[in-house]
Each structure stands twice: as structure tokens, then as C-alpha cells.
Structure 1
Amino acid sequence: MKKKYLIWILLPFIFQSCLMDDKDLFPESAADRMNTVLKHHQEILMGATNGWILEYFPEKKQSYGGYTLFVKFEPHDMVTVASELYKADQTETSMYQLIGDSGPVLTFNTHNTLLHYFSDPHNPDGIGPGDSGMGGDYEFLMLESTPEKVTMKGKKTGNRIVMTPIASDANWTDLMKDYQLAAAKIKGKKYKLSMGELEGTALASYRTFNITYPGDNAVIEMITASYRVLSSNEIEFYEPLKIGGKEITKMKFSVDADGVITFTDVQSGLSLVELLPVLNQELVKGSWYFAYSKLGTYGKQCWDLAKTGLDAIGEQLYSAALTNGISFAFGCVPNGASTNYKGILGFSYQLIDIDQIKLSYTGTSDNNGGYYYKNSPNFPQLINPLVGQFKLIANDKKNPTTIQLQDIAKPENVYVLSRSAVYWPYNK
């Protein structure tokens, strides 16, 4: 029993000793330690006399890829921002603050159009959901800062955000132009992937590749790889792209005379070559509109006759298009009315090579199509120029907005269709 009493007597001295040890280990208060850390980060941020290149990835899964901003931290808690998504010489100054939260946090606490573009609930360009926009951050947890590199983490997304100093002799406008010129070259939507015997495809969405390729045992593998465009005609992935036992962090890109873009990585042998759209397949997708001024001599003769028939029943042609792969879709409006009576006349098609198509009228229609075909004199003349085999010519091989159809058997039959909607085509 005496031994037990001795232990109870000694316990207060043991606890006191432990408390004294704790005091020795943490001579400063938590607030003082946080202030020291914040002061260190402040000195680093201010130390880049020409500002920082900020590598910004919005959205938790980096679905929109990465973007380049310039930021310069100035006295009185002011920050100046430039963004590759705005004019090269455009800047905006707002306020920032370093605060102690769940750690040292850099917050851009007054609205800055260029920076909050990525985090505003309603994105100015309508990107992302209407209530969250691109889902980016404006508050960043400071992880590490040195004069050579600052590493942060988005407080909301958890995305890694890196800043590196801009060279003291660099001109912001000229440097931003380099980034913008490089980014403007990347307009491809679909790519062929090759790496040795491995082949697949990559679909581009914003600055993200969705890659599909056959893996082991013919199992289809799918990878998402987000990237940022560098001013040196390179892209840098948010996380290394892991494929075929290789890791790729960067890829160079080039553009040939036809505007075809190719991404390459010499060490891994990986290449992504842009696939141009197949023109006749583009024609049978979506809607392509007629305009009277874009018809050849034969087409205008036919449409002139059709107009006399519409005049006879007191109506006007509101629109005409090849659509629904492929039908002749049209709308007619009675004079003095606002009702648009839509109709369809059926066609079949045959794709020949990559730039030819054969169109044939099937004699089918919906109710309105059949009515106008039978009751408007010369209305069938509208579709006469459509029948035949045509050579297709696009205004842009990569992203055609108009396609010219040249009748191979009847050279005077030529017309140009527009991807943009055309209304009152006799007046256009």
C-alpha cells in the first residue's frame, strides 16, 4: 500500500515536468508562429519584382485544362493580374490578403475580372454549369514558397497551383502574346495516337485529351490528360501521362501547311496527329442552309420558277436546308402572317471517297412537305439542283463553315451551303 501512495504523491510532479517540457518545445504562441509563416510567404511573393507566372487549373478534375496568368504582388495588399484569355496588354489590379486559416492561405478577396473568370458562378463565356461556372479557386493554401517556386493548393478543388518568377527583363505584353500565339495553334478535336505498335484515338475537350486505346487482353483503356499550353510550342500535363509503360510530362507540337497539328514526345515515341473531318460526313451531320445568292446559274433558274409558285399561293420561303442526314427541310410563311409552316422532302445519299456525295430524291415527305410539293406550282424546282453526284469543297479543311457542291455531270449546277442559319434565303 505504501508504494501506491508514493505513486500518487509523485504524479503532480511528473505532470508539471511534462508541462514544462511542452513550454520549452513551443516557446511562441500559435498565433506568433502563424504570423512568422505569413511574413515569410509575403516576403517571397513581393520578392518577384516582375511578378509570377501562375499555372492555373480550375475544376476538381481539371476538366477544362490549365491556363496561364501573370500576377504581381505590390505594396498595400494590391495585386495586378494578366490572363491569356484576355488581351495581351490587359491587366486588372485588385486586393489580396495572406491569412491564417487551416494553414497559411492566399486569398484574392476583392473581385478581379481576369482571375475570378475561373471561379465566378456565372462564367462570362457561359462555360460550365450556370451555378458554378468553371469551378475554380480564388483562395489557395500555401504549401511551400521559395524565390524560385511557390506551390499552392486550391482550397476548394485541391488542385496544385504553381508559380514561378517572371524574368526581370521580360515584357508582360510580349510574353503573354507568346502564350496566346501558341495556344491559338491548337484547334484540333480528334487525333490519332501512335506509340510503337500501340494505336488509339484522342478527343480534345478544352485543354484535355480523352484518350482511348486497346490495353492488355484487348481491354479498352481510357485516360484523361489535362494540360497547359507553354509559350515554347509545348504542352505540359497536370499529371504525367502514363501510357504503354511510359510517363510523359511534356509534348512539343507543330502545325503543317494545311493547319494539321501534331504533338510529339521523342523519348517515348508518342505522337498525336490531328484527324481532319471527312467532308461528306460533315455534310450529312447537322444542318446546312441555302441562300439564293450562293446558287449557280442552274440553281437560280430553278428557284426563280419555284418563287412564282409560292407567289401564286401567297407565301414566302422562310428557310431551306439540307438536314437530318439528308433531307430537304424548309419553312414557308403566308404573306402577312407569322406562322412558319415547316416541311420535309426525303433524300437518300451515297458517300463516295471522302469529298464526293450522290444525292437522290426518294419521293417521301412529311405532311407539309407533301402539301407544298403538290399544291405550290413549280415548288419541286427547289430540289432539282440537289439531285446528282457532287464534288465537295470546304472553306476550311479543319472546321468547315461553308461547303460548295459542284455537280460533276452538270458544271453549271453549283451551290454553297452554310453551317450558319439563313432566313429569308431569297433575300440573301
Structure 2
Amino acid sequence: MKKIIYSILFLFVAFGFQSCVNEEKEVFDKSASVRMSEALANYSKVLQSPKNGWRLRYYAGADYAYGGYNMIISFADGKANVASEIADTKDIYHSSYDLISNQGPVLTFDTFNPVMHFFGTPSDSSLDGYQGDYEFVVMSASADSVVLKGKKWGNKMIMTPMPEKTEWKSYLDSIVKIQSENVYPDYVGKVDSKDVKLSFTENHSMDIAVGSSSSSNSYIYSTKGIEFNVPADIAGHVFKTLEWSSADTTFVGTAADGTKGSFKIYISPEFKKYIGIWNVTINNVIYSATVAQDVPGKSFKVTGPKFPFPFIAEYNSIDDKVSVLTQEVGTFNGNIVKLCPWDASVGYLTWSDGIGMESTITSKSPLTLTFADNGRWSSYTVSSYLLYMFDSAGNRIGAYTGGTYRFPFVTKAVKVQ
């Protein structure tokens, strides 16, 4: 009986399938390959159409973690010219590009370009680099905008035509100028009588605190201020941009519903407690160090007899922590000297940005800090620092030879004055 039922079911399915196939209506007049070829040809024309190239709002990092950066690109006959705020603004870098079919239309920069490949280039601390794309799925393209999606990391990016008479360098310089003026990490203001604090992080991300609640948005600098990658909710109102006023060092903006916001520099009262004389423990030996204000509310300059060069300690007002990260500290014999994080237990060092140690307050009287790896070096644990020399091209020369270059096992600092 079961065999009969199965046979009947099989016949129904077979006939039904055949009927569906025979009655299927052709949706497209052209094959998929022909449609893709036509789309790629159209996208090629769109890319080459602006007379002064495109402004690309480039976002790096999984889920926009490393924020946005401006790139200006022109396309012509398979060659791309690229300039950016992340490089010298007068420099234009050349490489090839192509439009290919790869599970959809894809724009690829298929030869090395120092700007386009910067965020995706592996470093000694991360095989993914800064998690940047140089291949993009073309989501849409018109004369007004091209919408791209990073093929690997999935960040949405938008290109819009550059103004025809605007020089690339002057455009980028205006962006860099705002960045250089916005050296302060924190701003406060009121929106609808609610207290708001905006905190800028090192990765072009902003923490937005309203009362006891907080959120985070990535942003990119513009010629007027900043643009959020997605509209930011500030005290229940949606802001797409904030404009910078250099005259009074203030960010101002208007929400979609017309609500105004104005945010002035804020320096945490906790910042000043770090200024003074400290005893720093290095390899179980205590050395004196002087901590002075560098950028108010943001950083300190550290000097001392043990240290051949002054160095910078960054302040994080959100966590009330101090960090010492990879940095250039001076020159020697024509070479650049960098303070490099070091895992002294295994002997490896790094000169990648953002890696180092951060403090934790373990006593308030006297003020005492302990130091530990900040978690940014995936392969090793920072416990120490080395001074190393590099040439102008960034190639490592060797250890600094003008004085002390090893600072093993930096563990503690106690404020004494």
C-alpha cells in the first residue's frame, strides 16, 4: 500500500513539476551574464563621469570600529588617482582598478595603492590590519552618488562628486585644519534642557552620554565639521552632522526636527590630579618622573633623568586612565626615534599604532597607578618599552644608541608631589 501511495505522490510531483516548467514565464529578456555586462559598462561610465573625481567617505573596522576617512578618487581607463587626509594632502597615489562580476558587481583596486590599501594591510599586531576593504560591491550608481559596500567587512560607503573647481589639496587641507583644531576629547552642552557629553575617541568614534545612558557613533570629518555614518540620537533628537566653530571651539548642530545643540570644550576635573612628580617603578627600580600638561584634558608630557626623550601619555576621561602608546619621541643621527611597546618576557617589540600600556588606580592616597597591557597587541603582552630608530621611509634601523633604550617591566607609579 505504501508503495502505491509513494508512486502516486511521485507521479503528482513529476506532472506538477513538468506543468510548472512548461508554464514558467520568462522574467528577463536577457541572460544574467548580459545584464551584468551592461551594468558594469554603465557603472564604468558613471565612475569616469565627474570632471573632478569623487569624495569617498571610507569607513574601516568591523561595524565601523575605526571610523571614517576622506579619500578623493578619479577614475579613467582603468587607472585610479587617490588622495586622502591620511597622507600628505599634496600627494596623489596611482594604481589600477577594475569592475568585475563576483557574485554581483564589484569595484576592485587590483594593484597596490598606499591609500586604498592602507587599512587592509596586515601589521605585526593584526593580520587584518585596520580591517579595511579595497574591494567593494556596487550597490547603486548614478551621477549624484555611488553607494558601495565593503566586500569583506561590509561597511557601507558613499561617493559623491567633488565640486568641479575645488582643488583636491585645499579641500583636504580644510578637513585636516578642523582635525588639528579639535584636539580636545570632551564637549558638553544641553539638548532640550538635558545634559549631554560628547567624547571623541582616537578611532573617529564618538561616545554620546545623556544622563546615565550612553551610545556610540562613528563619524568622518568634513570641510565644516563632522558627519555621522548613521544619524546620531542625541537626547532623543536625530543629528546627521555637527559643525565646528574655531572661534569659540564649539560644535553646533540642528536635528532633523529643528532642535538645536551646542557643545563646548569640557576638561575633566580629574585630569589635573595627574600633574606633578611621580616615582615610577621600572624593573623593580624607582625613577623620578615629571608629568606636565600637554593638551588640556587630553594628554601629558612626561620627562625624567631616566628618559632620553620626553614622551606623551594620553588621558581617557571616560575611564579615568592614562595610556602610553607607540609614538615618535625625537631624532638621532638623522633617524626617527620611536618609543616601542615590548613584551620583555619573550623579546618581541612592535611599532604599530595604538598599542601600549594603560593605568589603573589602585590607591588614592597616595595616588598610585599600576600598568598593564591595553589589549591591542593580539599576539603578545606589553610589559615594557624600547627606544628604536627608523629611517624616513619607516624602515627599522636598530636600537637607539644615544643613551638608555631599554625600559623593562614598567609596573607602578606613585605620586609624591
- Matched to 1:209, the amino acid is M
Tell me the SS of whatever aligns to 1:148.
coil
CA change 1:190–1:107 in 2 (3 A) is same
CA distance in 2, matches of 1:173, 1:188: 25
- Deviation of 1:16 (Å): 6.5
Structure 2 residue 101 is the aligned partner of structure 1 residue 81: no
- Conserved? CA contact 1:71–1:80, under 8 Å: yes
Q: Is the 8 A contact 1:200 1:213 kept in 2?
A: yes
The equivalent residue for 2:377 is none
The aligned residue for residue 211 of structure 1 is 208
Q: Secondary structure at the match of 2:62?
A: coil
Q: Which residue number corresponds to residue 23 of structure 2?
A: 18
The CA distance in 1 between the partners of 2:242 and 2:171, in whole Å, is: 20
Q: What's the counterpart of residue 243 of structure 2? A: 252
Once the two structures are superposed, what CA deviation does each residue of 1:99-125 show, in whole Å capped at 9, x if it has no partner?
111211111111110111111122xxx
Q: Please give the per-residue CA displacement for 1:346-372, whole angstroms capped at 9, x wherever unaligned.
A: xxxxxxxxxxxxxxxxxxxxxxxxxxx
Distance 2:287 2:49 in 1: 68
Compared CA separation, residues 93 and 8, structure 1 to 2 (3 A): closer
Q: Is the 8 Å Cα contact of residues 235 and 252 (structure 1) preserved in structure 2? A: yes
Distance in 2 (alpha carbons) for counterparts of 1:226 and 1:13: 54
Which one-letter code corresponds to 2:94 in the other structure?
T
Question: What are the within-5 Å matches in structure 2 for residues 2-401 of structure 1?
Answer: 14=19, 17-19=22-24, 21-22=25-26, 25-75=27-77, 77-122=78-123, 129-206=125-202, 207-214=204-211, 220-231=212-223, 233-256=224-247, 261-266=249-254, 267-276=258-267, 278=269, 280-283=272-275, 322-323=277-278, 328-329=279-280, 342-343=285-286, 394=293, 397=296, 401=300
Q: Deviations over 1:276-310 (max 9, x none)?
A: 355632315xxxxxxxxxxxxxxxxxxxxxxxxxx
Number of residue pairs matched?
297
Instruction: Return closer, same or farther for 1:15/1:111 CA change in 2, 3 Å cut-off.
Output: same
Question: What is the distance in 2 between the residues matched to 1:210 and 1:264?
Answer: 16
Distance change (3 Å), C-alpha of 1:196 and 1:342: same
Aligned partner of 1:211: which letter?
A: I
Q: Distance in 2 between matches of 1:12 and 1:185?
A: 69
Deviation, structure 1 residue 211: 1.9
Cα distance in 2, alignment partners of residues 52 and 330 from structure 1? 52
Asked if the contact 2:59–2:69 (Cα under 8 Å) also holds between the matched residues in 1, the reply is yes
Tell me the amino acid that sits aligned with residue 147 of structure 1. Answer: A
Q: Percent identity?
A: 23
In 2, Cα distance between equivalents of 1:201 and 1:12: 63
Give the Cα–Cα distance (whole angstroms) in 2 for the partners of residues 41 and 271 of structure 1: 41
Which amino acid counterpart does residue 39 of structure 1 have in structure 2? A
Distance 2:302 2:81 in 1: 46
**Amino acid across the alignment from 2:42:** H
Q: Do the aligned residues in 1 keep the contact of 2:184 with 2:295 (CA within 8 Å)?
A: no
Larger radius of gyration: 1
8 Å Cα contact 1:83/1:115 also seen in 2: no
CA shift for structure 1 position 132:
1.6
Instruction: Give the TM-score of the pair, scaled to structure 2.
Output: 0.63
Cα separation, partners in 2 of 1:272 and 1:330, compared to 1, 3 Å? same
Distance 2:221 2:243 in 1: 10
- What code does the residue aligned with 1:221 have? S
Alignment gaps of 5+ in structure 2: 1-7, 304-308, 313-328, 331-401, 405-417
Alignment CA distance shift 1:283-1:98 (3 Å)? same
Structure 1 segments of 4+ aligned residues over 6 angstroms from their partners: 7-13, 421-425
Q: Return the letter of the residue paired with 1:91.
A: I
Higher strand share: 2
Matched residue SS, 1:179: helix
- 1:150 corresponds to which letter in structure 2? V
Contact 1:395 1:403 in 2 (8 A): no
In structure 1, list runs of 5 or more residues that go unmatched: 215-219, 285-321, 332-339, 346-382, 387-391, 405-416
Counterpart code for 1:30: A
Report the AA paired with residue 121 of structure 1. Answer: P
Instruction: Kindly report the root-mean-square deviation, in angstroms, between the aligned alpha carbons of the 2 structures.
Output: 3.6
Specify the SS of the correspondent of 1:114: coil
Q: Tell me the distance in 2 between the aligned counterparts of 1:121 and 1:403.
A: 31
- Structure 1 residues 57 and 396, CA, compared in 2 at 3 Å: closer, same or farther? closer
Q: Contact between 1:277 and 1:397, CA under 8 Å: does it hold in 2? A: no
